[in-house]
Amino acid sequence: MTIFQFPQDFRWGTATASYQIEGAAQEGGRGVSIWDTFARTPGKVFNGDNGDVACDSYHRYEEDIELMKKLGINTYRFSIAWPRIIPDGDGEINREGLDFYHRFVDKLLEAGIEPFCTLYHWDLPQTLEDIGGWGNRRTVDAFVKYAEVIFKEFSGKINFWLTFNEPWCIAFLSNLLGIHAPGNKDLQTSINVAHGLLVAHGKAVQSFRRLGTTGQIGIAPNVCWAEPYSKSPEDQAACDRSIALNTDWFLDPIYKGAYPQFMVDWFAEAGATVPIQEGDMEIISQPIDLLGINYYTMGINRFNPEAGVLQSEEVDMGLTKTDIGWPVESRGLYEFMHYLQKYGNVDVYITENGACINDDLENGKINDDRRIAYYEQHLAQIHRIINDGINLKGYMAWSLMDNFEWAEGYRMRFGLVHVDYRSLVRTPKESFYWYQNVIKNNWVETRI
Ligand X SMILES: N=NNCCOCCOc1ccc(-c2cn(C[C@@H]3NC[C@@H](O)[C@H]3O)nn2)cc1
Catalytic annotation, residues: 166, 352
- Residue 165 known to bind ligand: yes
Cβ-in-10-Å burial (0-12, 13-18, 19+) of 215 comes to buried
Nearer residue to ligand X within complex by CB, 71 or 169: 169
Site string for ligand X, 123-162 (x = CB under 6 A): ----------------------------------------
Among 45, 98, 173, 350, interactor with ligand X by CB under 6 A? 173
Nearer residue to ligand X within complex by CB, 203 or 413: 413
Smallest separation, CB 283 to ligand X (Å): 26
Smallest separation, CB 197 to ligand X (Å): 15
Smallest separation, CB 387 to ligand X (Å): 27
Query: Which parts of 29-135 fold into alpha helices (H)?
Result: 34-39, 57-71, 82-85, 95-110, 126-129
Nearer residue to ligand X within complex by CB, 127 or 351: 351
Give residue 437's identity as a one-letter amino acid code: N
Smallest separation, CB 222 to ligand X (Å): 5
Smallest separation, CB 53 to ligand X (Å): 17
Nearer residue to ligand X within complex by CB, 101 or 406: 406
Torsion angle, alpha carbons of 102, 105, 107, 113, to 10: -170
Give residue 289's identity as a one-letter amino acid code: D
Smallest separation, CB 438 to ligand X (Å): 21
- Cβ count within 10 A of residue 93: 15
- Cβ count within 10 A of residue 277: 10
Length of the chain: 448
Site string for ligand X, 285-324 (x = CB under 6 A): ---------x-x----------------------------
Which residue sits closest to ligand X, CB atoms considered?
A: 17
Q: Collapsing DSSP states into helix, strand and coil, what is residue 11?
A: strand
Q: Residues touching ligand X: how many (CB under 6 A)?
A: 15
- Cβ count within 10 A of residue 391: 16
Strands 225-228 and 298-303: parallel
Nearer residue to ligand X within complex by CB, 111 or 177: 177
- Residue 398 known to bind ligand: yes
**Contact between residue 361 and residue 418 where contact means Cβ atoms under 8 Å apart:** yes
**17 lies in the binding site for ligand X (CB under 6 A):** yes
Q: 253 φ, ψ to 5°? A: -60, -40
Among 53, 93, 111, 179, interactor with ligand X by CB under 6 A? 179
Cβ-in-10-Å burial (0-12, 13-18, 19+) of 112 comes to exposed
Let me know the angle formed at the C-alpha of 345 by 341 and 346, rounded to the nearest 5 degrees. Answer: 110
Smallest separation, CB 255 to ligand X (Å): 22
Nearer residue to ligand X within complex by CB, 4 or 398: 398
Q: 387 φ, ψ to 5°? A: -60, -25
Nearer residue to ligand X within complex by CB, 199 or 223: 223
Helix/strand/coil percentages in the chain, nearest 5: 40, 20, 40
* CA–CA gap between residue 220 and residue 280 (Å, rounded): 20
Site string for ligand X, 379-408 (x = CB under 6 A): -------------------x------xx--
DSSP 6: P
Which residues, 212 to 241, sit near ligand X by CB under 6 A? Answer: 222, 224
- Residue 126 known to bind ligand: no
Nearer residue to ligand X within complex by CB, 98 or 170: 170
Smallest separation, CB 165 to ligand X (Å): 6
- Residue 229 known to bind ligand: no
Which residues, 320 to 339, sit near ligand X by CB under 6 A? Answer: none
Choose the stretch contacting ligand X; rule: CB under 6 A; options: 30-38, 136-144, 150-158, 171-179: 171-179
Which residues, 404 to 433, sit near ligand X by CB under 6 A? Answer: 405-406
Residues 313-346 as b or e (16 or more Cβ within 10 Å = b): bbeeeeeeebbbeebbbbebbbbbbeebeebeeb
Residues 6+ apart with CB under 8 A from 199: 137, 140, 280, 283, 284
Site string for ligand X, 234-273 (x = CB under 6 A): ----------------------------------------
Which residues, 50 to 109, sit near ligand X by CB under 6 A? Answer: none
Q: Greatest CA separation found in the chain?
A: 63
Sign of the dihedral through C-alpha 193, 302, 299, 320? positive
User: Which residue, among 218, 212, 82, 193, has the nearest Cα to 140 in the 3D structure?
Assistant: 193
- Residue 20 known to bind ligand: yes
- Residue 405 known to bind ligand: yes
- Residue 201 known to bind ligand: no
Q: Which residues are annotated as a binding site?
A: 20, 121, 165, 296, 398, 405-406
Instruction: List residues binding ligand X (CB under 6 A).
Output: 17, 20, 165-166, 173, 177, 179, 222, 224, 294, 296, 352, 398, 405-406
Q: Which residues are annotated as a binding site for substrate?
A: 20, 121, 165, 296, 398, 405-406
